[in-house]
Amino acid sequence: MNLLSRIKQSSRELLLFATAALTLGMALSIVGATFNNFLNDRFALSGFERSFLEFPRELPGFLVVFVSAALWFLCSRRLGVVTMILSATGAALIGFASSSYWVMVAWLFIYSLGDHLFMPIASTIGMELAREGQDGRRLGQLNAIRNFAAILGSFSVVLGFKYLGFSFQHTFAIAAVLLVAAAALLFMMKPEPVVEKRGFLQLHREYRLYYILNVLSGARKQLFITFAPWVLVSVLRQPTQIMATLFTIGGVIGILFQPLLGWSIDKFGERTVLASEAVILVFVCFGYGFAKFLLPADTAFLVVCACFLIDQMIFSVSMARATYMKKIAIQPDHIQPALTAAVTIDHVFSISAALLGGVVWNVFGFQYVFLFGAIIAVINFFTALRVRTPQKVISRSGIGQRQEGL
């Protein structure tokens, strides 16, 4: 069945959400490809100052469970609209109203709050729109769309800065417009019934291994989000175009890799995929931290770029944790609250890792940040080996109807 036929057979809800994922992915890619250089050019931050900035950027992730609990009366799709408007407002203010570092921090908080609130919603809606037993495949397809969007977004940054005289204001304005478009698409989706008393503030003992996996994920992800780009920008002195090019290449690879990863989760199980990610991450961390010291400059640059691309791909293994949570859920209405609580747990350790990493970077050197990351990866490997899932996927009642299409 060709792509056109699949699109024609897809439900209206799936097409709307896939298009929203495309516009959202472009916006995030544009911001991601320019933000580190924006900081470097506008504020000339030190390594510690850059890592400290992760506190206001990651604090919304900690607050997700509390904000979601306060907005319990909104279904996931309507809450998604709110998140896009928040991010659009933050992006516009960062680009046009950052009169000082601390003012920019306030706008970054707003942008990040919208971004983090949408994280569990994206997985929840994606699994609602999946065929029975193919949650990984659906999430992989949606991630592939976001990777295609990353290509478009990052490539537009390359063209804009190289040929069209773009400034940082141009890129943040474009991102804001795309986020508003995503909000409109989500608003067009049919709202699902609101489940009262979702229990966002409850932790269940039965899901403790899932929570532990997210603790490790929180510490691990700062390597990719904060310190990996900072190695390229600050240590290896690479310009905006290089970062945008890497995001573009990663997006191209991801178009094929993401559906394959989703298929692998359905085929081989979450345990195998999560353990494999941990092994790969050990080698990636050593590449980030020690290529500069062990290899000639040009070769070291290529190795770090390769590590960045691999890291960008395996970052999406997070969907294996989402499908694992769905499979072990005692009740269907536990899924979104558990995914939301996981974002908060993740960010408690994400913020701590960012602050600790900044101190380690300044006192001992950037390579020790990644040595710490390798240790986390080893712990993650042995934790992943404990993952077990029931053979039967839980009933879909309460989280959406079976969907056909892509």
Q: Write out the two tokens for 293.
A: 């010291």
Amino acid at 124: T
- According to DSSP, residue 110 is labeled H
DSSP class of residue 99 equals: -
Nearest to 75 by CA among 405, 400, 402: 400
Tokens of 346: 């993740």
Residue ranges of the chain with per-residue pLDDT less than 70: 1-10, 46-51, 133, 193-201, 240, 391-406
Query: What whole-number distance in Å separates Cα of residue 400 and Cα of residue 367?
Result: 46
CA pair distance 380, 165, nearest whole angstrom = 44
Report how far residue 149's alpha carbon sits from residue 156's, in angstroms, rounded to the nearest whole number: 11
Per residue in 282-323, pLDDT (tens digit) is 999 999 989 888 888 889 899 999 999 998 888 888 889 988
* CA nearest neighbour of 88 among 182, 20, 154, 22: 182
Query: What is the reported pLDDT for 396?
Result: 42
Confidence at residue 87, expressed as pLDDT on a 0 to 100 scale: 95
What's the pLDDT at 6?
A: 65
Distance CA 325, CA 339 (A): 8
Which strand (E) or helix (H) includes residue 209? Answer: helix 208-222
**pTM for the predicted model, two decimal places:** 0.74
Looking at the domain that runs over 11-193+204-384, which CATH code has it been given? 1.20.1250.20
Tokens 């904000």: give the residue.
Answer: 67
pLDDT tens sequence across 322-334: 889 888 888 877 8
DSSP output for 12-71: HHHHHHHHHHHHHHHHHHHHHHHHHHHHHHHH---HHHHHHTHHHHHHHHHHHHHHHHHT
Residue 304 has phi, psi (to 5 degrees) of -65, -40
State the Cα–Cα distance between residues 90 and 111, nearest whole angstrom: 4
